[in-house]
Chains A and B, each alone.
Chain A
Amino acid sequence: ETGVTQSPTHLIKTRGQQVTLRCSSQSGHNTVSWYQQALGQGPQFIFQYYREEENGRGNFPPRFSGLQFPNYSSELNVNALELDDSALYLCASSLDLAGGRVYSDTQYFGPGTRLTVL
C-alpha cells in the first residue's frame, strides 16, 4: 500500500509570487483534504475535494485554490503570496463511501511541504 506523498519538501518564494503544491493520495482513496499548519499551531482546514470537485472549504480566501485529478492526485495553488502564508502545508487522503460526505473514518496525512515566503 502506497502512502500519501507530497512535493516539494521545501519551497521558498517571495511575496506576490504564485506557488503550486502537489499531493499523491494513498492508493484507493477518493478524497483529498488540504491543511495549513503554522508553527506551534494545529492544522487549519483549507478545502476538500471528492471526485474532482470541491465539497468543503475553510476560512481561506479565493487565492487558495485546488484541483483533484482522475487518478486522485491533487494540487494546491496559492496566488499573490503573503508573508503569513509561510507554513507547513499538509495533504490528507481518505476513502469516502458516503457519497461526498466531508470526512470518513480515517485521514492519512502526507509529510507536508514547508513553504517560506520572504
Chain B
Amino acid sequence: TQLLEQSPQFLSIQEGENLTVYCNSSSVFSSLQWYRQEPGEGPVLLVTVVTGGEVKKLKRLTFQFGDARKDSSLHITAAQPGDTGLYLCAGAWNTPLVFGKGTRLSVIA
C-alpha cells in the first residue's frame, strides 16, 4: 500500500513569515500534486510535478519534487492570511491517486 505522510499536521504562523511543509513516502510516484482546500469547499489543484528534482513556482509558493520522486515540499514566502487552508499532497502511480492527510495552515494577520 502506498502511503503519503505530510508534516507538520498543523501550522500556525504570523503574516509575513516563511514556512515549508513536507510530503514523504517510501514509494516512487510518477507525479505528485498539491491541492489547497478552503473551509467548506472542495480541494483545488495548485500544481503537478513530474520530473525528479523539478521545481515549480506559483507566485509566493515554491514546489519541489525529490530527486528519487518519493517526496515533495511546498515553501511559502511571506505568508498571507489568504494562504490559510488545508494543503494536501497526492501521488500518482496508477489510478487512483493516493492522498496524504494534509497540513492545516493558519496565517494570522
- A and B bind: no
